[in-house]
Amino acid sequence: MSPFTPALRLHDRYVLRERIGLGGMSEVWRADDEVLHRPVAVKALAGRLAADPQWRATIQREARAAARLTHPHVTQVYDYGEAALPDGTVVPYLVMELVDGRTLADRLAGGPLAWPEAVRMAGQVAAALAAAHRIGVVHRDIKPANVMLTETGAKVLDFGIAAPAGPQAVGQTGELLMGTPAYFAPERLDPGPANPAGDVYALGALLYRALTGRAPLPVQTWDDVVDLRANRPPVPPLRVPGLPADVADLVLACLAEDPARRPGAALLADRLGAGRP
């Protein structure tokens, strides 16, 4: 059961109005910022996770990662706080830009996108990732549910499991498997630092699905990820009427098993025409 309720006031500033999202790890509320007089989104850890120091550190890491990014295709983070509720529970939360639109996951439930729309969306996501990678942040969970489609283009959500790129302390095995199996780059099974190429792989899988309505490889579970690492079939070629051959080749390059063979996010943004009508 959620510790949050409508009309709850956080830090004498943010007044919750209605819950607009609920997942396994977090819940999101529409709220009013009574200082700046604007609507915002408040994201808080769900249920028992709020009492877990590791997960509290995770949401704080998201706040720090996202706050360093200023980009039109990244959801802006305004504030971070910890709410002490009447029952003694302390719940960390983020205050974010309230984005009107629907997720790519919801849109794909109705079938694939027209190829120009899919390519434009992917170019915008690539531009957001390029901005993150430039400051050393790897998202690590690019998937349709974390891309919001708005009137001004795609916006990347949820830097909750973002990590710094480059050398760092290696976490435990369970930490390595954070993310979503269908968009999980094969090299992420190995201990090591976060690599921007993993985000590129996920974007390739996302664009493949947006174009065709299906995943590039039969991956639904973590067991599938492990099995495909040992016996990986080729990705079926894209057969989308009208899709330029160079774009089809670029999608397959994003899905290369060897991360060194994948293009960078900045090159993807340029080749896919981020932001162009």
| Torsion from C-alpha of 150, 146, 46, 82, nearest 10 degrees | -70
Residue among 273, 206, 218 at smallest CA distance from 246: 273
Q: What are the CA-CA distances from residue 33 to residues 19, 30, 188, 267 (Å)?
A: 15, 10, 39, 38
Residue 101, classed as helix, strand or coil, is coil
DSSP string, 134-185: HTTEE----SGGGEEEETTEEEE---TT-EEBSS-----HHHHT-S-GGG--
Element (H, E) at 94: strand 90-97
Work out the burial of residue 60: count CB atoms within 10 Å of its CB; fewer than 13 is exposed, 13-18 middle, 19 or more buried: middle
Q: What are the CA-CA distances from residue 27 to residues 38, 155, 158, 169 (Å)?
A: 20, 19, 12, 29
The whole-angstrom separation of Cα 45 and Cα 270 is 36
| Structural contact between residues 64 and 114, judged by C-beta atoms closer than 8 angstroms | no
Residue 247, classed as helix, strand or coil, is helix
Residues with active-site annotation: 141
What is the token pair recorded at 235? 């990705």
